[in-house]
Chains A and B, each alone.
Chain A
Amino acid sequence: MINEERVILMTRLQSYEDHEGKHNVAIANYFRSDYLGRQILRSIICATLVTVMLFAGYILYDFENFMKDIYQVDLMAFARHILIVYLVFVGIFAVITYIVYAYRYTKAKKSLRQYFNRLKKLNQMYNKE
C-alpha cells in the first residue's frame, strides 16, 4: 500500500534536488576557503577587466590632451596613481564578494543539512516497514 506521508516527503526531496538543491550541492562540494577563494579570484578578474575598459575610456575621452601631455607628465607618478585606484577598487570589490559568497555558502550548507535530515527521516520510514 502507498505510504502517503513518504510519497509527499520523496516528492519534496526530489523537487529540492531538481531546483535549489542542485545549486547548493555545487556550492557544498567545495571547502569554504576554496569556494571563497575561487569567487574572489573571479571577482578580481572581473574588476581588472572593468578597470582596463574604464581606463581605455578615460584615455579615449581626452585623447588629444593625453597625447599632448604624455611627455610632460611624470609617468611613474601617473602609473602609481592608476595602480592605487585599481588596488582600492579591486580591494573593495573583493571584500563585497567575500561577504556575499560567505553568506551564500553558510545558507547553502544550512539548507543541505535540512535536506539530509529529511533524507534520514525517509530512511527511518523505510526501516520501520
Chain B
Amino acid sequence: MTQLLLTKEYLKNFIGKYEIYLKPLGKFLLALFALSMINSRTGYMSRLDNGSIVLVAALFCSFMPTNFIVVISMVFVVAHFYALSLEAAIVIGMLFMVMALLYFRFAPKDTLVVLLMPMLFVLKIPYVLPICVGLYGIPSSAVAIACGVVAYYAMHYVVANEADLSAMDAEELSARFRHVVDGVLNNRTMLVVMVTFMITVVLVYTIRRLSINRSWTIAIVAGTVVQMLVLLMGDLMLDTDVSVPGILIGSILAVLIAKVMEFLFFNVDYSRTEHVQFEDDEYYYYVKAVPKITVAKPEKTVKKINSASQQRRRREHPAGNFNEV
C-alpha cells in the first residue's frame, strides 16, 4: 500500500512538473484515438480515411481547446456518413446540432462525455462512464450521458444498415430520410440503456455526497448493481438485445476502473475521522473531517564522500587545478 501511495505521489509530482507538455500530448492522443476509431468503424469517405489526415487533425487538436476534439470528430462522422448516404448525414448532423444548441450551450465542460461514450461502447466498457460521471460530475451530467448514448446508437444504426442505405438510391429522398429517422428513434435498446445510465449517474452522485463512511465505495458498488439490474429488467421487459455476459464483465471492469479512480482522487483514512463542533454569530457548525492518506516522498540526499579531500588537493596542486578522471 505504501508503495502504491508513493507511486501516486511520484505521479502527481510528475504531472505537476510536466503539465505544460502532458496536456497537449493527452489531447493529441485522445484525438488520434477518436479519429482512428471513427475511420476504422465508418471510413466511407476514402479521402478522410487516411493516416496523415488523422495525424494532422490530431496535431491541430493538441493546441486547441478540448472541445475542439469533439467538433472535429463530429465533422469526421458527418463527412463519412455523407459519403454513404445524404440522409444519414442529415439526420446525424441534425442530432449533433440539437445536442450542441440545447445542452452543450449550458454545460460545455460535459461535451467530452459525448465523445468518450461511443468510444467506450466500442471498447465494450460503456458501464464505467456513468459511474465515473456520478463520482466526479453533477446530476445534470446525466443529460450529457444520455446524449452520448443517443449519439452512439444513432451512428451504430447507420453503420449496421450501411448495405440498406446504399441500396436505396432509387427511392425518394423523403422515404430514405424516414427510414433513417425511424431506425434511430425506434430503438428500444437505446432507450433502456439511456434511462439506466441516467439513473446510475444520479444514484452514484447522491450516495457519493452522503456523509457516511466509505461513501465512494458504496456509491460505486450500488451504482454498478443498480445499473446491471435495470439493464437486465429492461432486457426482459422490452426484449432488447443487450448481451448479459457483456453486462456482467463490463460491470466488473467498471468497478475496477472506478476503484482505481477512487484511489487516485479520493483516498481517505476513515479511522482518523474527527467530529468537531463550534459556533459563530450566525451558525452552529457540525463538521466531520476525514484526513487524506498521504505519504511523504522520501528525500534523496547525495553525499559527496571525497569532495573535501579533492578540494584540498586542488588547493595544494602547483597548477592550481587539474582534470578529474
Contacts and interface: CB of A to CB of B under 8 A. Distances in A.
A100 interface: yes
Given A43-B105, A46-B102, A53 B172 contact: no
A100 B103 CA distance: 12
A50 B172 contact: no
Given A53-B94, A57-B94, A46 B101 contact: yes
Interface in B79-112: 90-91, 94, 97-98, 101-102, 105-106
B178 to A, nearest CB: 5
A30 interface: no
Contact of A60 (B97, B101, B177): B177
A100 B102 contact: no
Contact of B181 (A50, A57, A97, A100): A57
Given A53-B94, A53-B98, A61 B181 contact: yes
Interface in A84-129: 93, 97, 100
A88 to B, nearest CB: 15
Given A57-B94, A57-B181, A64 B102 contact: no
B174 A50 contact: no
Where chain A touches its partner, the secondary structure class is helix
Given A57-B94, A57-B181, A61-B181, A46 B105 contact: yes
Interface residues of B, number: 15
Interface in B43-95: 90-91, 94
B101 A50 contact: yes
> Which among A42, A49, A54 has the greatest number of chain B C-beta atoms within 10 A?
A49
A64 B178 CA distance: 11
Contacts of B248: none
Interface of B: 90-91, 94, 97-98, 101-102, 105-106, 172-174, 177-178, 181
Given A50-B101, A54-B98, 11 more contacts: A43-B105, A47-B101, A50-B98, A50-B102, A53-B94, A53-B98, A54-B94, A61-B174, A61-B178, A62-B174, A63-B173
22 contacts: A42-B105, A46-B101, A46-B105, A47-B102, A49-B101, A50-B101, A53-B94, A53-B97, A54-B94, A57-B91, A57-B94, A57-B177, A57-B181, A60-B90, A60-B174, A61-B174, A62-B174, A62-B178, A63-B172, A63-B174, A97-B106, A100-B106
